[in-house]
Structure formats: C-alpha cells, structure tokens
Amino acid sequence: MRKLIVLSLAALSLAACDTKTEVKSEKTEGGVTKVETKTNVDGVKTQSGMELSHYAVRAALGQNPNTAAYVTIKNIGKDDDRLVSAACDCAAKVELHTMKMDGDKMMMAEMPEGFAIKAGETLELKPGGNHIMLMGLTTRPADGQTQTLTLTFEKAGTVSIDAPVSNTPLAAASEHTGH
Ligand SMILES: [Cu+2]
C-alpha cells in the first residue's frame, strides 16, 4: 500500500525531472553534525539525513596498533538507511565492529554489512558496545587532538566529522536509564 502511494507521487513529479539530481547539505553546530541529502532519480524522490553527535576517538594506548572511535547517529531522514563503512587517514584499515559472546567471553566481531538504522532510530557506537575499529594506526591519535573520521551511508552519502581524541571517551548519556 505504501509503495503504491510513493509510486503515484513519483508519477506526479516525473514531468519535472527524469534524470538524477542531488542536493546535499552538511553543517556542524555545538558538536552535532547534520547531513541531509535530497535525491531525485527518474522522478523518485528520497530524503535522507543523519544527525551525528557524541563523537570521539580513543587515544592510542602504549604499543597497541589499534584503537576505536564512537559516534551516536540518529536517522532524521524519511527512509531506512545503513552505515556501510567508516574511514580514517590515521589507520590502514577501518572496520565496523559489534560485541558478542563467544562461550563466556565477550569478543569483537566485524559487521561486514554495517549497521542498519531505520528512519527515526538512533544507533549508538559507544565504549563497550558497537564501535568503529581503527586498525594498523599510521598516526597515533593523542589525547587533546582532533581526528577526522569519514562515515558512509547507503542513502545519506558520505559525511566527515572532526572527532576529539580522548583517553576516556564517554558513552552518550542515555535518556532511558538512570544510573
Ligand atoms: Cu573492535
């Protein structure tokens, strides 16, 4: 049913444009970065958007060749979307990781297809949970520095954030649990 409605809207706008147009806006204010993309492909319009907050990179510790990065991502678009990859100039390889039980041990595991983020939902990458793994560090992020991270979404596209580096990155304060 929903699909029918979308198609009929698309038919109305078909006359206006039958190729691909894309309007992208990106802005950062008070530690929150918003990226919004409006795409019109053959008259089918999508509006995607992400709001990124609480981003941080954990400072490289000792001789550890790896570290992690965190960000809270809210899908403010109208469509379900997916975080498909992340990148950093500081690392040879970047993976999206989750945590899962292996026997009685909590282990990291790669999410090769990334993380789905439904419209209106929030994905938290945070210490102790899902995270961005920075592997084979080529520069070692140090406390107090800023490190640029690039996130790529299936629909919202690519967005870069300047994440503060910290020895003690904090999890985003949850609205739902009181400690
Ligand atoms: Cu990891």
Measured in Å, residue 54 CA sits from the centre of ligand 1 at 18
Q: Where are the domains of the chain?
A: 2-166
* pLDDT given at position 70: 97
Q: What is the mean pLDDT of residues 69-85?
A: 95
* pLDDT given at position 9: 47
- Residues of the chain with pLDDT > 90, as a percent, come to 66
Measured in Å, residue 132 CA sits from the centre of ligand 1 at 7
Measured in Å, residue 90 CA sits from the centre of ligand 1 at 16
Distance CA 52, CA 156 (A): 12
Measured in Å, residue 28 CA sits from the centre of ligand 1 at 27
Reported as a single tens digit per residue, the pLDDT across 143-153 is 999 999 999 99
| 153 sits in which H/E element | strand 146-153
Measured in Å, residue 107 CA sits from the centre of ligand 1 at 8
* pLDDT given at position 173: 65
Measured in Å, residue 111 CA sits from the centre of ligand 1 at 10
- Cβ–Cβ contacts within 10 Å for residue 98, how many? 14
Reported as a single tens digit per residue, the pLDDT across 93-150 is 999 999 999 999 999 999 999 999 999 999 999 999 999 999 999 999 999 999 999 9
Whether the pTM exceeds 0.85: the reply is no
For residues 141 and 60, the answer to whether their CB atoms sit within 8 Å is yes
For the record, the structure tokens of 101 come out as 């039980």
Length of the chain counted residue by residue: 179
Measured in Å, residue 98 CA sits from the centre of ligand 1 at 7
Distance CA 148, CA 18 (A): 36
Domain spanning 2-166: CATH 2.60.40.1890: yes
Measured in Å, residue 43 CA sits from the centre of ligand 1 at 41
* Structure confidence at residue 45 as a pLDDT band (50, 70, 90): confident
Alpha carbon 123 to chain centroid distance? 8
Reported as a single tens digit per residue, the pLDDT across 46-60 is 788 999 999 999 999
Is the pLDDT higher at 66 or at 171? 66
